[in-house]
Amino acid sequence: MLPYRDDPRPGATRFPWFTILFLIINLAVFGYQVMLATTGEIDGFIERWGFYPADFWAGERLYTAVTAVFLHGGVLHIVSNMIFLGIFGPNVEDQLGRRTYFVFYLVGGVVASIAYALAFPDMDAPLVGASGAIAAVLGGYVLLFPRAMVRSLLFVGPFITAGRVAAIILIGFWFLIQVVQSVVSVLAIADTGNVAFLAHAAGFVFGIIAVGAIREARDQPVTHWGKGDEHWWNRSFRNWILLMITFGIGLVLVQFMAEAGSEALASLIQSGLLILAGLVAILDGWWRLRGYDALLGSTQRLERVVAIIQLVAGVSLLSSIFWI
């Protein structure tokens, strides 16, 4: 899921100076990282400014709990973080006030880093990224604007759509993923790559607690639920979730059968599921391109662009199966 705007926008009344400042600093630092990568000096830069749990507990370079918030590990890392910050940051800054928001953002990043250090005290790999701080912003946003509708690109396999869903559902789903992946990483059940899911979860929890405490101290309403007759999601989001569940159950069944020794049948069912997914993606995309409301979209201009991408994805999936 990749959000691209909140709609209808809660409506910030003040210019988000610090959100813009954080965006500029993050992008500038990443640009500098790219320059260092071309000269082979990037490793030394990360070692100096990245957050190392082992060093933290040794009382060394404590400042890196803050500096690491402005470093990123790649293009996808910074792009996704800046999108989330740009969408959700301005309204949280508006509600908290600029100075409070500035401190809130940085402390959220520090709390996320310390939580990660608590779980992995001997980790000698650096923790970098604004994800913990932005997770705190998400926690604040979902408490302040739970019923604000967020427009998001939704994609899984060949299925792609632009859905509209309440912030509490979208961000809540994101948080659930962080919690599950945190448990997986802490218990070493599976490899979660280099993503610090526990830091994300800790930042989010901090955001909810901090914003709740701030609003309570100011005697301001904590939540805005909107009108009772507002929808929680639109048709595209609902159908996308149903497709995820349907094919997810099918793939779990395939895995179960394979482990039970029925590998041939499992392989056959898996191929059938993939073929079905490709056909549904192609038919749905084609229907949208013809100007009809389909399973995953409507006749809006953006939906038609997304439909073309889905068509290509569906054809590519079938091609990979049949080697067309």
Phi and psi at 5, nearest 5°, equal -175, 155
pLDDT for the residue numbered 297 = 75
pLDDT for the residue numbered 190 = 46
pLDDT for the residue numbered 214 = 92
Question: Can you name the residues that pair with 165 across neighbouring β-strands?
Answer: 150, 233
pLDDT for the residue numbered 244 = 87
Residue 167 in contact with residue 224, Cβ under 8 Å? no
CA distances from 75 to 33, 57, 79, 121, 245 (A): 11, 30, 6, 28, 30
Q: Which regions in the chain score pLDDT beneath 50?
A: 190-193
Question: Can you name the residues that pair with 161 across neighbouring β-strands?
Answer: 154
- H/E element, 64: helix 64-67
| Radius of gyration, CA atoms only, the chain | 22
In degrees to the nearest 10, what's the CA dihedral of 292, 297, 298, 302? -120
d(CA 96, CA 88): 13
Phi and psi at 166, nearest 5°, equal -65, 145
pLDDT for the residue numbered 180 = 83
Residues shown for the chain: 324
- In the chain, the domains with their CATH numbers are 2-217 (1.20.1540.10), 235-322 (no CATH)
d(CA 272, CA 257): 15
Question: Roughly what angle, to the nearest 10 degrees, separates helices 167-186 and 197-217?
Answer: 130
